Chains A and B, each alone.
Chain A
Amino acid sequence: MVSIMSDNSTPLLEMRGISKHFGATKALDRVDFTCNAGEVHAVLGENGAGKSTLMKLIAGVLQPTHGQLRVDGQDVFLNTPQTALRHGLVCMFQELSLVPDLTVRENLLLGAPGAGLGWLAGTGLDKAQDVLNRIGAGQIKMGTRVADLTLPQRQQVEIAKAIMKKPRLLILDEATSALSASVVEGVFDLVREERDSGTAILFISHRFHEIEALADRVSVFRNGQRVETFMKGDHTYSEIIGMMVGQKIEELFPPKPPSQRDADIVLDVQNYTWESQVRDVSLSVKRGQIVGLGGLDGQGQGAFLMGLFGLLRKAEGTTAISGQATEINSPKEAKKRDISLAYIPEDRKTEGLILDQSIQENLELAALGRPDLDAGDTALYAGSLDQLALKHGGLELPVSSLSGGNQQKVVLAKWLALKPRCLLLADPTRGIDVKTKTQIYAILRKLADQGTAIILLSTDYEELIQLCDETHIFFDGKVVASLNGDDLTPENIIAATLNVASEPQAAHA
């Protein structure tokens, strides 16, 4: 191998005049792009801007229609991911690529260097364990089936798997989307260390504070073209958003109306307990109120939300809907007219949608079971689809043809058709572009104004601050802080998520 680490004149990766067409769609249009060894290069853009296509070209998953890739100044043709790996190009994809039925160990060894026919050496597992420990995933056992891990845990294993391959260029595509702040910090330390030892990092994220924390250079993409590349700090957030969508950050969140203290309570939960994961949680949400649930991953907030929708067996506690004591044992009961809850699950691809079916069929699925609604009536969905500005080529097309953000709009519209009196959302904007986020914020606020009660679980504390009237922070199954009004600050949220009383403490490294 040539000595390249210190050679700054030749970029590690260079792309010249790259275009990628899918039929008539130009996913990338004559893009020039370079990435140097020893830098963290953030790639920004809305969904559909071409970021993922760019990454797939680098990872050898797709091949360009036109243009040339060069590694260390040499022309390369990456026809398979194995070829890309041989050049040291490793991608951790947004769509998780672990095999659910295999254990963590088996997944880590899949495609590991030296694996193939013959004996597995198991080398590199120490490194993987080390990585897992460092990103706060030390409790994940190597023998656990991946299917039994939570979404954040799977993402942590993905990171370990990618780093194990000793990349020269590592692509992190929404790699931290499901992770909470303190875990992200650990991941970032690791990434910085990799960078300092000469690895190039391509970093895709929709969270601005992550880019602020990590990136050295930033490239902004829009509509399949690279708009600009600049050093971090050369432009402000609003300028960057302007480049991405032509919108300012102040316009991201709708204004918060003054809270109405005397509104009716829609959902009231007392002493909710489930196994050891949710402990004695009591909270309520009023008409027109948006209540946030925050905290580190797996502190019980996700289970609590599922429990409200009737997904947990043998839970204790009382639930009252509009003052009426109610027991909800299944989603079917939860969506009944007199209860009228809706739940937007965490993973839209496996839980929220049936990807093989058409947009229309997906929209109808929740309304079908309600005798008082005519699921086939398109007017049920038209309003919310209009407001969310769903971009589609026809409602009869499979929902998998939509981008991630548009898919989430379908999940929302499907439930909004039932005019729920209380909407439960599990991290609805994870991995979604800024513009779609804005649309989702706007419709949530509008629903609240119309009297819907909303419970929003979020891993993005800007949402908990900017959108929510009140936020409950979970720690170890309990609500450790309920913040509202002026108390709703980043410092207080971070302090509460780490369960430290007052002085904010830096996340452990």
Chain B
Amino acid sequence: MLRTVSIDSLMPYIGVVLLVIAGSFFFPQVLSAGYLSQQLQIAAFLGLLATGATIVILLGHIDLSVPWVLTGAAILSTALVGSGNPVLSAIAVPAALAFGALIGIVNGIGVAILRIPSMVWTLAVNSMLLGLAVLNTGGFNPRGEASPLMIAMASGDILGLPISFLIWIALSIALAGFLTRTPFGRYLRSIGFNEKATFLSGVSTPSVVFTAFAIAGMCSALGGVMLAGYANQAYQSMGDPFLLPTIAAVVIGGTSILGGRGGLFGTIGGALFITLLTSILSVMQIEDAWRNIIFGTIILVMLLFQTLRKGAAA
């Protein structure tokens, strides 16, 4: 874990603290346990997506299929629960995760075997999933409902902490351990820096790419399942607003978009920061136009800071 704690990855945490302090001047209720706990709950959805995205970005690739893997998993899981069959209902969550892993492997095949740039391949996969979903539902909102398990995962709490947040953090810690303590993690970063040299060092790089995309697909699917639990339904395009914030959370968390450098610790901060920023801007009832401008500016400033610091270090 320690290796991933760099100044870059601490930046979003500093940002979070500043946001809370600044926000509390305008709205004292920002400091209330209720508000903060709700933010943690909501941040978990973005955070789970960003966790998967971090792994793919560390690899030097990008996964643009997040929105429709998320939506697909949500539709699949709610449809299984909605069927009324207790067996189908019980396998709803694992089936959705398997769906995510499958799409991840499809992504891996395109990137590692067919050697198509991930930006193009995953965008095409995203588009195909969209088409499949529309064919499947006829363009209407899919019928179905969330299971009690899905609802608990999204909205329950233990000892005052949202379960969604706990799931997110537990997954992040497990994956961070996986990334720092196994050869896989080392290979992942090495490929992100220099795939050729890694391959020539006797590493089966395609299997690393497969695994990374499969993990990312499962993270997106888990996010989809939990969002469906949160809304107690799935709906078309539910994943679309998440794509850019997901990538922003990863990058604000100090992970280099070029691969190799970064980690999950920063991503947690990045997801918290973006969630809180969005929330405070909306609480302050700032016009949408300004909200977008402020949002974009803050992301640019943080990235600029990272770049300048790196330039100064070099």
Name A's B-contacting residues (CB within 8 A): 309, 311, 330-332, 334-335, 343, 345, 350-357, 361, 364-366, 368-369, 375, 414
Are B196 and A332 interface neighbours, CB within 8 A? no
Tell me which residues across on chain B come within 8 A of A368, comparing CB atoms: 183, 186-187, 203
A396 → chain B closest CB, angstroms:
11
Given A350-B196, A361-B186: A356 touches B261 (CB 8 Å cut-off): yes
Are B194 and A355 interface neighbours, CB within 8 A? yes
Tell me which residues across on chain B come within 8 A of A354, comparing CB atoms: 190, 193-194, 197-198, 260
Contact partner of B204 (CB less than 8 A), chosen from A309, A332, A414, is: A332
Are B197 and A335 interface neighbours, CB within 8 A? no
Are A332 and B203 interface neighbours, CB within 8 A? yes
Are B197 and A369 interface neighbours, CB within 8 A? no
A294 → chain B closest CB, angstroms:
23
- How far is A352 from B198 in the complex, measured between Cα atoms in Å? 8
Given A356-B260, A361-B186: A366 touches B201 (CB 8 Å cut-off): yes
Find residues 44-61 in chain B having any chain A CB closer than 8 Å to their own CB.
none
The yes or no answer to B202 lying at the interface (CB within 8 A) is yes
8 smallest CB-CB distances across A and B, nearest first, come from A335-B202, A331-B202, A365-B201, A368-B183, A354-B194, A354-B193, A366-B201, A356-B193
> Which of A355, A368, A375 has the most chain B CB atoms closer than 10 A to its own CB?
A368
List 6 interface pairs A-B (beta carbons < 8 Å), by A numbering: A343-B200, A345-B200, A355-B194, A356-B194, A357-B260, A365-B197
Tell me which residues across on chain B come within 8 A of A366, comparing CB atoms: 201-202
Tell me which residues across on chain A come within 8 A of B186, comparing CB atoms: 361, 364-365, 368
- How far is A334 from B203 in the complex, measured between Cα atoms in Å? 10
Find residues 232-282 in chain B having any chain A CB closer than 8 Å to their own CB.
260-261
Tell me which residues across on chain A come within 8 A of B189, comparing CB atoms: 357
Contact partner of A332 (CB less than 8 A), chosen from B193, B202, B260, B261, is: B202
Interface SS, B side: helix
- How far is A335 from B194 in the complex, measured between Cα atoms in Å? 19
Tell me which residues across on chain B come within 8 A of A335, comparing CB atoms: 202
The yes or no answer to B305 lying at the interface (CB within 8 A) is no
- How far is A366 from B261 in the complex, measured between Cα atoms in Å? 20
- How far is A414 from B202 in the complex, measured between Cα atoms in Å? 12
> Which of A311, A351, A365, A366 has the most chain B CB atoms closer than 10 A to its own CB?
A365
Are A365 and B193 interface neighbours, CB within 8 A? no
B128 → chain A closest CB, angstroms:
29
The yes or no answer to B178 lying at the interface (CB within 8 A) is no
Contact partner of A369 (CB less than 8 A), chosen from B193, B194, B203, is: B203
Are A351 and B200 interface neighbours, CB within 8 A? yes
> Which of B183, B202, B260, B261 has the most chain A CB atoms closer than 10 A to its own CB?
B202
The yes or no answer to B199 lying at the interface (CB within 8 A) is yes
Tell me which residues across on chain B come within 8 A of A343, comparing CB atoms: 200
B250 → chain A closest CB, angstroms:
18
Name B's A-contacting residues (CB within 8 A): 183, 186-187, 189-190, 193-194, 196-204, 260-261
Tell me which residues across on chain A come within 8 A of B183, comparing CB atoms: 368-369, 375
Tell me which residues across on chain B come within 8 A of A364, comparing CB atoms: 186
- In the complex, given contacts A330-B204, A354-B194, A368-B186, what are 20 additional A-B residue pairs having Cβ atoms less than 8 angstroms apart? A331-B201, A332-B202, A334-B202, A343-B200, A350-B197, A351-B197, A351-B200, A352-B200, A353-B194, A353-B197, A356-B194, A356-B260, A356-B261, A364-B186, A365-B186, A365-B190, A366-B202, A368-B183, A368-B203, A414-B201
Tell me which residues across on chain B come within 8 A of A351, comparing CB atoms: 196-197, 200
Are A350 and B194 interface neighbours, CB within 8 A? yes
Tell me which residues across on chain B come within 8 A of A311, comparing CB atoms: 200
- How far is A351 from B197 in the complex, measured between Cα atoms in Å? 4
> Which of B199, B200, B203, B260 has the most chain A CB atoms closer than 10 A to its own CB?
B200
Residue of B nearest to A348 (CB): B197
Tell me which residues across on chain A come within 8 A of B190, comparing CB atoms: 354, 357, 361, 365
- How far is A350 from B201 in the complex, measured between Cα atoms in Å? 12
- How far is A345 from B198 in the complex, measured between Cα atoms in Å? 12
- How far is A364 from B185 in the complex, measured between Cα atoms in Å? 13
Residue of B nearest to A365 (CB): B201
Given A356-B260, A356-B261: A331 touches B200 (CB 8 Å cut-off): yes
Tell me which residues across on chain B come within 8 A of A350, comparing CB atoms: 194, 196-197
B209 → chain A closest CB, angstroms:
14
- How far is A351 from B261 in the complex, measured between Cα atoms in Å? 19
Tell me which residues across on chain A come within 8 A of B198, comparing CB atoms: 354, 365
- How far is A366 from B88 in the complex, measured between Cα atoms in Å? 46
Tell me which residues across on chain A come within 8 A of B203, comparing CB atoms: 331-332, 365, 368-369
Are B201 and A357 interface neighbours, CB within 8 A? no
B236 → chain A closest CB, angstroms:
39
Are B202 and A369 interface neighbours, CB within 8 A? yes
Residue of A nearest to B191 (CB): A354
- How far is A311 from B204 in the complex, measured between Cα atoms in Å? 12
Tell me which residues across on chain A come within 8 A of B200, comparing CB atoms: 309, 311, 331, 343, 345, 351-352
> Which of B197, B199, B201 has the most chain A CB atoms closer than 10 A to its own CB?
B201
Residue of B nearest to A336 (CB): B202
A419 → chain B closest CB, angstroms:
14
B208 → chain A closest CB, angstroms:
11
Residue of B nearest to A364 (CB): B186
- How far is A334 from B199 in the complex, measured between Cα atoms in Å? 12
- How far is A364 from B183 in the complex, measured between Cα atoms in Å? 10
Residue of B nearest to A370 (CB): B202
Tell me which residues across on chain B come within 8 A of A332, comparing CB atoms: 202-204
Tell me which residues across on chain A come within 8 A of B201, comparing CB atoms: 331, 365-366, 369, 414
- How far is A331 from B189 in the complex, measured between Cα atoms in Å? 19
- How far is A365 from B193 in the complex, measured between Cα atoms in Å? 13
- How far is A410 from B200 in the complex, measured between Cα atoms in Å? 15
- How far is A355 from B198 in the complex, measured between Cα atoms in Å? 11
> Which of B186, B187, B197, B198 has the most chain A CB atoms closer than 10 A to its own CB?
B197
- How far is A330 from B199 in the complex, measured between Cα atoms in Å? 9
Given A364-B186, A365-B186, A368-B186: A355 touches B204 (CB 8 Å cut-off): no
Are A331 and B199 interface neighbours, CB within 8 A? yes
A95 → chain B closest CB, angstroms:
16
A183 → chain B closest CB, angstroms:
26
Are B193 and A355 interface neighbours, CB within 8 A? yes
